[in-house]
Amino acid sequence: MSQTQPISPASKHWSRSAITSAVLAVMGFATLWIFVGLFLSAAATVVGHVARHDTRSGEFKGRGLATFGVGLGYFSMLTFPILVLLISASFPALSMWESEKAEDQRKASQSRASRLFVACEAYARANSNRYPADWQELSGRFVAAPELAEILRSPYEGGKAVAFEIVPHDRPVLDAIADSVIVIQEIAPPNQRQIAVVYADGHVRSIHNPDSP
């Protein structure tokens, strides 16, 4: 009478379902921030339960792998709605932060433009009522070199090291048109909708960026 020989551990084959479940679970968890991760996690739990059933008899290896796939799949599915709520709640805060950042950068541009105007006016009083032909003419006597470099630098990401230019104009500017003659203009990246300009009367305003689409 023949007896059934027990299957040795070395002769067992890995359950493909268990491997698939673990792979799907990891992929689902990694892509949980997009909607497809939820479907991958759900598939991992289904395939994982099938693998646990197949490995119960001891014919296949991978019961622990299947359990991992099921556990991670359920964890991802339970985490998904929480992640959605957190992302939804973060949008208003992110929008407010970006708005405040843009406002701070706009104020920084206007402040730097105003400081350049004061230096240019001081230069004009000392040089026959003319503006400098180059910013470096302000360096030293009218503005310290390190300070000048800082003032000229754009406050925007991707901005230029020299983000302001002197607009040629006749001097002295008549008072009647001083509020419409631009003497200093900012050079801002195209993604910035506004630039700072200084008029001959010293007022600083923001106008449409000509380089913006």
Which of 91, 124, 154 is at the close of a domain? Answer: 91
- Judge if 56 and 120 occupy the same domain: no
pLDDT attached to residue 6? 52
Give the Å distances, CA to CA, from 166 to 67, 156, 171: 70, 19, 13
Helix (H, G, I), strand (E, B) or coil at 14: strand
Which of 42, 61, 91 is at the close of a domain? Answer: 91
Q: Is the pLDDT of residue 212 over 80?
A: yes
Contact 209, 194 (CB under 8 A): yes
| pLDDT tens-digit readout, 115-153 | 999 999 999 999 999 999 999 999 999 999 999 999 999
- Judge if 16 and 87 occupy the same domain: yes
What percentage of the chain exceeds 90 in pLDDT?
Answer: 63
pTM recorded for the entire structure: 0.61
- Judge if 86 and 108 occupy the same domain: no
Residue 42 lies in a domain: yes
Instruction: Identify the DSSP state of 47.
Output: H
Contact 163, 150 (CB under 8 A): no
Give the Å distances, CA to CA, from 134 to 32, 47, 91, 92, 139: 55, 72, 44, 44, 10
DSSP-assigned beta bridge partners for residue 164: 186
pLDDT attached to residue 35? 83
| pLDDT tens-digit readout, 28-65 | 999 988 888 999 999 999 999 998 888 887 778 888 99
- Judge if 106 and 185 occupy the same domain: yes
- Tokens of residue 64, six digits: 């622990």
Q: What is the number of domains present in the chain? A: 2
How many residues does this entry show for the chain? Answer: 213
Residue 213 lies in a domain: no
pLDDT attached to residue 61? 85
Give the Å distances, CA to CA, from 176 to 151, 180, 198: 30, 9, 16
Higher pLDDT, residue 108 or 91: 108
- Judge if 132 and 175 occupy the same domain: yes
ω into 172 cis (within 30 of 0)? yes
- Tokens of residue 123, six digits: 């230069």
Angstrom distance (rounded) from CA 9 to CA 83: 42
Among residues 189, 191, 207, the alpha carbon closest in space to that of 199 is found at: 207
The CA-based diameter of the chain, rounded to the nearest angstrom, is 121
**Mean residue pLDDT across the chain:** 89
- Judge if 84 and 133 occupy the same domain: no
Residue 203 lies in a domain: yes
Q: What is the dihedral of CA 107, 108, 114, 115, to 10 degrees?
A: 150
- Judge if 105 and 85 occupy the same domain: no
- Judge if 24 and 61 occupy the same domain: yes
- Domain around 169: 101-208
Please, which pLDDT band fits residue 1 given cuts at 50, 70 and 90? very low
- Judge if 58 and 106 occupy the same domain: no
Please, which pLDDT band fits residue 97 given cuts at 50, 70 and 90? confident
Instruction: Identify the DSSP state of 196.
Output: E
- Judge if 56 and 81 occupy the same domain: yes
pLDDT attached to residue 2? 43
Q: Is the pLDDT of residue 69 over 50?
A: yes
Angstrom distance (rounded) from CA 87 to CA 105: 26
- Judge if 120 and 200 occupy the same domain: yes
